[in-house]
Structure 1
Amino acid sequence: MRAGRGEAGRVVEVDVLRAVALLGICMVNAVDLLGTPVAAGEHRSGAAYWAYETLLHQRFFPIFSFLFGVSFGLFLRVAETRVRRPRVVMLARLGFLVPFGALHRLLYPDEVLLTYAVVGIAVLLPASFAPTAVVFSLGVLGVAAGVAVHGGVALIPGIFLLGLAAERYGVRRLLDAATGLGLGACVLAALVLDVWQVGAGAPAASVLAAGAGVATAAAYMFGVVVLLRTDARRFLAGLAPVGRMALSGYVGATVMILGVGRLVEPGDGPAVVIGAGVFAVEAVLAWVWSRYARYGPLEWVWRSLTWWRPVPMRRGRPDAPGEPDASGGGAQVPRTVLDRRRPSRK
């Protein structure tokens, strides 16, 4: 089954991948926000701890970061067809992400939106002038450097660049190339590194854990894309609406988790369950919301700020004149943009 498009030319795979990343992030953030021992690393032993470290912790934010780089490229590419100075629009878009991140950081000091905005301005905008081969090479070096300094936010610049390079090479082309062989290679690398991490008792802030996290994130990505080529697509495609509203979901999850935390006293396991439950609620709300609205609430605010005017919110209304048809998630683009490379960036 070939990669599919949803409504208005969206790449369903990108939306589903973003939803899967949000699910993992909700579970990890719940453990962190609710202050459980696993998050604090007080008990580096036992099956529960190592399951958390090898399956969840630092395993989903690389996917989120990669897709941010992809979204940057998609939005910029469509903006180039609609406005005279597309990078000025992109600068405004990233700049308006700063207050979102700053306000969110008041609730969750370890949030990433503010970092995404700053790194996007400092790294992605300059890189948008470079040839694709240079962007890809810098991305590989950046990820290697991030792993060398124990991962975390240090991985973001390199992963952003790999996402931008992937968009340049062609989202659909790369999705079509996501075969079982690629999945097998990533799963093997993830298994070896995760087992090594457990055997060595490596903490989260270590070279080994950072490398295992990147490998496991890649395995998750390949796994989801391969599943989307099976009958599981019918179920997974249902996650697309919450993936399209990832900004609202990411911020909203923090509010919901903190609210639940005032009502219960979770242990390690319940915190993960709370995070998964919050995601499930958001998935249902996103499905209902998407029946009537084109964008999530925060996506609509961000988009309107980017273009300095309110954009149509109700489903069925056309875009405003001169407004690129690229969503807040960055995956809604014309078919011709998705199916071919960008000739000016070879």
Structure 2
Amino acid sequence: MTAAPSRRIAEVDAVRGLALCGILAVNIVGMSGMPPGSGVAPALYETALHQRFFPIFSFLFGVGSALFLRSAARHTDHPGALLLARLGFLIFIGLAHRTLQPREVLLSYAVVGIVVLPPFSLLPRWAALGAGAVLTGAGLAAFHGGSALIPGLFLLGLAAARYGLVDDLERRPRRTAAAFGASALLALAADGAQLLTGARPGDSWLPATAGLLTGAAYVTGLLLLLRTRAAPPLLAVLVPLGRAALTNYLTATVLIVIALRVVPLDDAPHHDRVLMLSVAILAVQTASSRWWLARFRYGPAEWAWRCLTWWKPLPNAIGSAGRTSG
């Protein structure tokens, strides 16, 4: 069945683009094997980047799955089956990606998503919210964060979308401001405690908790900035990155592999080179995403994934007929 595509939510794409920016720098460090070093730069990396954007991306995956189900339900009687197909094909994308990036997350997202998202999408939204909170807490307390946070964050994102929080972003400025104030204060306290104790990711619940709080402050802070004069330039950069998130996540790995052959980082802590390389890759991806999305509805990888999900070739060029949602 075909229909017009659903309206995209610019704020969600912008937040997804922000998450990609932070994850890029972390992936460069991880793939290069760069030693941590000591001083201000490593401290900033640990408290501002490491484990700070992964929770955002995981939460948004749950949000995106809820939006996919909502869209697919308008065109099929079996949206859950389509979600399973979508996640099933993501397994193969993740496996292919792991040949270049062994620590990549798409494979984990696909497997965990298959386990938790379809069943909880059939339950009341409060069940997803409660289970998400419990699993996130357990991931922090028992496993000290990392991949153990994925199930809970998926369900929290699923619940947030089903409660309408995503649709009402523009009508919640005071709540957003309050959430930013609270999360920013708590994040500063948690990040300070992490620095004072010297806790490393995986050592305890503290770094992962600080990561969740800092990620929440980033998201709510960005949402507030999108209501100011800073919105146009931010949207111009972040929305194209977010709309083609899968394409940019995959191509970033290729660009990192190529760049590390020219600019090795494993001999010393070159945080300045990581920053320059991140900016260069993001500049290329922003320009290419803007060019592509001016001509096509979805990024190349997004379009291919969509065709696989619906198990048929779908038009992608802007102005072509027979659009398919979901």
Structure 2 unaligned spans of 5+? none
Q: How many residues align?
A: 312
Give the aligned partner of residue 162 of structure 2.
Answer: 168
Give the aligned partner of residue 60 of structure 2.
Answer: 67
Is 1:18 the counterpart of 2:16? The answer is yes
CA distance in 1, matches of 2:279, 2:157: 26
Alignment of 1:279-290 (within 5 A): 279-290=282-293
Contact 1:187 1:216 in 2 (8 A): yes
Deviations 1:49-88 (A, max 9, x none): 1100000000001111111100100010111121021111
Is 1:184 the counterpart of 2:181? The answer is yes
CA distance in 1, matches of 2:321, 2:187: 45
Structure 1 residues 191 and 175, CA gap change in structure 2 (3 angstroms): farther
Secondary structure of 1:107's partner?
Answer: coil
Is 1:120 the counterpart of 2:107? The answer is no
Give the aligned partner of residue 79 of structure 2.
Answer: 86
Supply the RMSD in Å over aligned alpha carbons: 1.4
Deviations 1:116-165 (A, max 9, x none): 00011001111111111111011111111111111111001000000000
CA distance in 1, matches of 2:322, 2:191: 46
Secondary structure of 2:167's partner?
Answer: helix
CA distance in 1, matches of 2:149, 2:127: 18
Match for 2:301 among 298, 303, 323? 298
TM-score (norm 2): 0.93
User: Structure 1 residue 269: deviation in Å?
Assistant: 2.7
Give the aligned partner of residue 126 of structure 2.
Answer: 133
CA distance in 2, matches of 1:74, 1:140: 20
CA distance in 1, matches of 2:320, 2:55: 35
Give the aligned partner of residue 256 of structure 1.
Answer: 255
CA distance in 2, matches of 1:318, 1:196: 56
User: Structure 1 residue 286: deviation in Å?
Assistant: 0.2
Give the aligned partner of residue 52 of structure 1.
Answer: 45
User: Structure 1 residue 265: deviation in Å?
Assistant: 2.5
Find runs of 4+ consecutive structure 1 residues off by over 6 angstroms.
none
Secondary structure of 2:262's partner?
Answer: coil
CA distance in 2, matches of 1:37, 1:191: 25
TM-score (norm 1): 0.87
CA distance in 1, matches of 2:171, 2:106: 30
User: Structure 1 residue 169: deviation in Å?
Assistant: 0.6
Percent identity between the aligned chains? 48
Match for 1:214 among 212, 215, 221? 212
Contact 1:27 1:273 in 2 (8 A): no
Deviations 1:222-256 (A, max 9, x none): 00111111111111111211210000000100000
User: Structure 1 residue 175: deviation in Å?
Assistant: 5.3
CA distance in 2, matches of 1:198, 1:28: 18
CA distance in 2, matches of 1:17, 1:233: 12
Contact 2:6 2:71 in 1 (8 A): no
CA distance in 2, matches of 1:35, 1:70: 32
Contact 1:203 1:209 in 2 (8 A): yes
